[in-house]
Amino acid sequence: MPYKNIADSRARDRRYWLKIKAAGPRPQQLPIGVATPLEIKAPKHGLKIAVIPDVQAMPGVALEHLTWAGKYIADKQPDVVVCIGDFGDFPSLSKFGQGTLEFEGRRYRKDVDAFKQAMDLLMAPIGRMKKQPRLEFTLGNHEDHINRAVNDDAKLEGLMSIDDLQLPGYGWRVHPFLQPISIAGVAFCHYFPSGVMGKPISSAPALLRKLHMSAFAGHMQGREIAYSRRADGGNMTAIISGSFYQHRYKYLSPFTNAHWRGMYVLHEVKDGSFDEMAISINFLKRRFA
């Protein structure tokens, strides 16, 4: 169960991680494409699910929109909150630009601190909710850079890991990178791979054609949505939305930096059907800043 507040979470961190360590190795990731069904009790009209797309938190960028998002979630009281992954950017682990002047000063510890600062801002209002929502975190490729760094340099084993992010301490149930989860007939994953090379399915209509079920993915900037029907008459909706941050990227042009930024709430989620509501950062700023 999520902790009542962040201070309580921090106080219990040591006991929590000792318990996790004593439990032994974690189960291996399920084969890609096999969605893990999450049994979450829902009212007759269905679940309300808030989705946090890619935050890309890193040192030196604005993060106050996460406080606004936390307040919005506390106000709307969803049954479930899904963080779709890439909550952190981890620029120190990037393979692009190594050895350049721009790369100078990047440090893994600073990246982890920025991740935790962003998570503290988001979770502070949520932690004060009387009824705590289920918290599900699907790791993104940026979080997976931690695993890749250890795999590429065995000396780092035991010195850095996903555990550094302390996600369970905030109340999140963590799902491995590229391991889809299914909630009320809707699949969630940072991105859904396709083909032998496992490249991301890059459009919402393609998600429906390839997965044959409703789905929500992040990873790609902006937003795209598509609709279809099943043979039994059920509705299918696919959403790709991977930008919930305020900063701009130098590698993007002014045009491509102008993509939509925001979060989603899915209403009446039941048997793969839902009514989607997009909430832009600009709206959150007007409402809660």
Q: Which pLDDT score, from 0 to 100, does residue 22 have?
A: 44
Interior/surface letters 162-175, b for 16+ CB within 10 angstroms, e for the rest = beebbbbbbbbebb
Q: Which pLDDT score, from 0 to 100, does residue 187 have?
A: 96
Residue 199: beta bridge partners?
194
Rounded to 10 deg, the angle between the 108-127 and 65-76 helix axes is 30
Q: Which pLDDT score, from 0 to 100, does residue 97 have?
A: 57
Which residues make Cβ contacts (< 8 Å) with residue 111, sequence separation at least 6? 58, 59, 88, 89, 90, 91, 92, 93
Q: Which pLDDT score, from 0 to 100, does residue 98 have?
A: 59
Q: For residue 112, give both structure tokens.
A: 């982890």
Cα–Cα nearest to 245, from 222, 265, 216, 275: 222
Please identify which residue in the block is written with the tokens 């941050």. 245
d(CA 143, CA 155): 19
d(CA 144, CA 86): 9
Domain range annotation of the chain: 6-12+46-180+247-288
The distance in angstroms from the start CA to the end CA of the chain is 29
Q: DSSP letter string over 12-41? A: HHHHHHHHHHHT-SPPPPPPTT--EE----
pTM of this prediction?
Answer: 0.86
Q: Which pLDDT score, from 0 to 100, does residue 234 have?
A: 92
Q: How many CB atoms lie within 10 A of CB 266?
A: 27
Q: How many CB atoms lie within 10 A of CB 67?
A: 18
Q: Which pLDDT score, from 0 to 100, does residue 96 have?
A: 64
Q: Which pLDDT score, from 0 to 100, does residue 161 have?
A: 95
Q: Which pLDDT score, from 0 to 100, does residue 30 have?
A: 39
Mean pLDDT, 10 residues at a time, the chain of 289 residues = 47 42 40 74 93 97 98 98 97 72 76 98 96 97 94 90 96 95 96 89 95 95 96 95 93 86 98 97 96
Instruction: Collapse the DSSP code of 278 into the 3-class scheme (helix H, G, I; strand E, B; otherwise coil) and give the result.
Output: strand
Q: Which pLDDT score, from 0 to 100, does residue 65 have?
A: 98
Q: For residue 51, give both structure tokens.
A: 């989705």
